[in-house]
Amino acid sequence: MAKSPDQEHPHKAFGWAARDKSGLLSPFHFSRRENGDEDVTIKILFCGVCHSDLHVAKNEWGFTNYPVVPGHEIVGTVMKVGSNVKKFKVGERVGVGVIVGSCKKCESCQQDLENYCPQTIFTYNSHYTDGTKTYGGYSDMIVVDERFVLRFPDNLPSEGGAPLLCAGITVYSPMKYYGMTEPGKHLGVAGLGGLGHVAVKIGKAFGLKVTVISSSPKKEAEAIERLGADSFLVTSDRTKMKAALGTMDYIIDTVSAVHPLLPLLSLLKLNGKLVTVGLFDKPLELPIFPLVLGRKLVGGNEIGGMKETQEMLDFCAKHGVTADVEVIRMDYINTAMERLAKYDVKYRFVIDVASSLSQ
Ligand code: NAP
Ligand code: ZN
């Protein structure tokens, strides 16, 4: 018989887990593996709350394996390193994002695209090679293969920097891959949540003109004054949407639920590119006429590889890009999840794990 989660590994660990599709989280005792030769043991300081955590906690993608400890925007301190670990020392601040393992041999891994490896091991709701479950960052400590640990630049604050480990790389990577970084070009960012607000800031750091495309009129002043967007479009405002037709070179679509693509495709110029990163279990309708007649491109993107994630952290540190966060205690997580489901967060919850996770 399989061992219980608190017995399968030698190190006692503690976190908060969702047990069923209500998504409600509660205290959970489990265990972590012994630090291997290639491993880094990390004491978790902060962890961001991504909308993916909510999708998984509520089984909205249909493959949640309960109990699930979410959290893949982890910043912590190195407590122990294995004998073969070269990049990290005890006491350093490090980051862990969405993935903690891959085969390291396939074509994707060889191109530093571990995120697209068929055997990617996700930080939570996945399995290690020994068959035990992975548990995420809403917990006190984690043991991670050094290839999947990031150097955390000194001048990046832990709280505002944590969300870059998922939200940041998920918008940075497609901008680089699809060639959406030419200074002066016009970027639309659909959905002003965790990913969207970081996309605005990264877009500005690349020298783009940035327009937020939002369903929430109340976000306008902040988008411009605080986040640095050049303009703001509310999707329900037909007059302004019409005036903006054919004005954008690129769009990053971060909307977390089913929505029509036609209004977004119509905003693009000839040869415009739309990259969708939101993840939900229903298909989107792809209108063919605007696509074909305008030689437009629709693409997708899943986070980024480890090398590029490091590059993104260094880029954000250099350009002063951080997330706007609301720091919360662990026992506020269920309220935070409720608020996230209603788009009531500016713009990322980050759990102060080290000072609020008590047994
Ligand atoms: P979030 O903070 O909740 O932001 C999502 C935003 O989408 C909301 O703030 C809202 O912005 C807009 N929105 C939500 N529902 C809408 C609807 N029905 N119609 C129109 N607009 C709607 O979420 P997030 O953490 O940024 O994540 C966004 C999505 O990306 C999630 O589905 C998440 O799972 C996915 N994700 C994907 C990857 C990847 O690798 N591809 C990585 C991380 C996350 P407005 O109020 O401005 O309209
Ligand atoms: Zn995420």
Average pLDDT score over residue span 80-108: 98
Query: Is the per-residue pLDDT at 219 higher than 90?
Result: yes
Structure tokens at 278: 């939101």
Beta strand extents in the chain (DSSP E only)? 11-18, 25-32, 39-49, 74-81, 93-96, 99-101, 121-122, 141-145, 150-151, 186-190, 209-214, 231-234, 248-253, 268-276, 297-300, 325-328, 348-352
Backbone angles phi, psi at 315, to 5 degrees: -60, -45
CA 27 from centre of chain: 24
pLDDT of residue 325: 98
Task: State how far the Cα of 215 lies from the Cα of 185, in Å rounded to an integer.
Answer: 23
**Would you say the CB of residue 221 lies under 6 angstroms from ligand 1?**
no
- Is the pLDDT at 268 greater than 90, yes or no? yes
Contacts of 289 by beta carbon, 8 Å cutoff, 6+ apart = none
Cα 81 to ligand 2 centre (Å): 26
Over residues 23-69, the pLDDT tens digits come to: 999 999 999 999 999 999 999 999 999 999 999 999 999 999 999 99
Q: How confident is the model at residue 1 (pLDDT cuts 50, 70, 90)?
A: low
Read off the tokens for 239: 């007059």
Q: Looking at 151-155, 165-169, 250-254, 281-285, which range is the least confident one?
A: 281-285
Tokens 């309220």 correspond to 335
Tell me, using a 6 A CB cutoff, whether residue 188 lines ligand 1.
Answer: no
- pLDDT averaged over the chain? 97
Token pair for residue 217? Answer: 């009129």
Tell me the ligand closest to 342's alpha carbon: 1
Q: Which ligand is nearest to the CA of 229?
A: 1
Q: What pLDDT is stored for residue 316 in this prediction?
A: 98
Q: Which atom of ligand 1 lies closest to the CA of 280?
A: 32
Single-letter amino acid code for the residue at 24? L
Quick check: CB of 197 below 6 Å from ligand 1? no
Q: Which ligand lies nearest to the CA atom of residue 277 in the structure?
A: 1
303 lines ligand 1 (CB under 6 A): yes
CB 198 within 8 A of CB 163: yes
Tell me which residues have their CB within 5 A of the ion that is ligand 2: 50, 52, 166
How remote is the CA of residue 48 from the centroid of ligand 2, in Å? 8
49 lines ligand 1 (CB under 6 A): no
Q: What would the pLDDT profile of 288-337 be if each residue is shown by its tens digit?
A: 999 999 999 999 999 999 999 999 999 999 999 999 999 999 999 999 99
Q: How far apart are CA 176 and CA 220, in angstroms?
A: 27
Q: Are 88 and 144 spatial neighbours (Cβ–Cβ below 8 Å)? A: no
Q: For atom 19 of ligand 1, which residue has the closest CA?
A: 259
pLDDT at residue 295 in the model: 97
Task: Give the pLDDT band (50/70/90) at residue 70.
Answer: very high
CA 216 to ligand 1: nearest atom: 46
253 and 190 in contact (C-beta within 8 Å)? Answer: yes
pLDDT at 359: 74
- Say whether pTM exceeds 0.95: yes
* CA–centroid distance, residue 246 to ligand 2 (Å): 31
Ligand 1: residue whose CA is nearest its atom 5: 193
Distance, CA of 267 to chain centre? 26
Q: What pLDDT score was predicted for residue 73? A: 98
Report the pLDDT value the prediction gives residue 234, as an integer from 0 to 100.
Answer: 98
